[in-house]
Amino acid sequence: MVLLIVDLEEKIAGQITMSENPGETIKRWREEFRISQIELSRFLEVSPSLVSDYEAGRRKSPGASTIKKIVMAFIAIDEKRGGIVARRFNSGVPSQALIDVKDYDHDVLLEKVVKSVNGVNRSSPSLQRYIRGYTIVNGVQAVLTFSYSEYGKLYGWSSQRVIFFTEVKMGRSPMIAIRAHPLKPAAVVYIQADRVDELAVKIAELENIPLITTELDPEKISRIMSSLR
């Protein structure tokens, strides 16, 4: 993980340094990490106006040492929040589709996961199984942008995981994609689904994959799942 973080730091720093508009690139990455100007300025122990001036191009482009401090601030603030953005960029999955991904170094009972996210099991397969990670993905973007091989990257280090899908309308597409791929998750969870189609339930039962729904939002689910023990 340390090497991956270093790679991400180098990628961001390189983009800022090589950009024709470094301030705009700093702003784009700051917003990608969902960090406010005030939060960044506090971490760097500078005034918010200095950050604003850099981003707006009112000040001379920051030097290499300042860019390094800014990039390290992005990573450090993200780590305090659970490292969600770093994991997303280091996963190899298209960033517009992936919301969060994490692997555990321990087993977590699926039944505990379902209770933790206020889930409802919509199918017959048992919840008495263990997971070793989770992935949260935008269902619409996944269908539109994922290639066949990229679906495999949803599984991280292990297919023994829960895959959460947002933006689910009828619930068919995610389960059809899972049925077509040789790797199968331990469970599938639809986040705030409009409905759960009968075909999705039938596929879940044929594949022996619990199909669960939850009304929690993705951000809250991410916080819960990243802290499960």
The pTM score is 0.63
Q: Quick one: which H or E segment has residue 217? A: none
Tokens 């960090």 label which residue? 35
Q: Where are the domains of the chain?
A: 2-87, 93-226
pLDDT digits (tens, 9 = 90+) for 159-216: 889 999 998 887 788 888 888 888 899 999 999 998 898 999 999 999 999 999 999 9
pLDDT digits (tens, 9 = 90+) for 78-89: 888 877 777 767
Superfamily of structural domain 93-226: HprK N-terminal domain-like (3.40.1390.20)
CATH topology of domain 2-87: 434 Repressor (Amino-terminal Domain) (1.10.260)
Helices 2-18 and 64-80 cross at an angle (nearest 10°) of 140
> Binning pLDDT at 50, 70 and 90, where does residue 94 land?
low
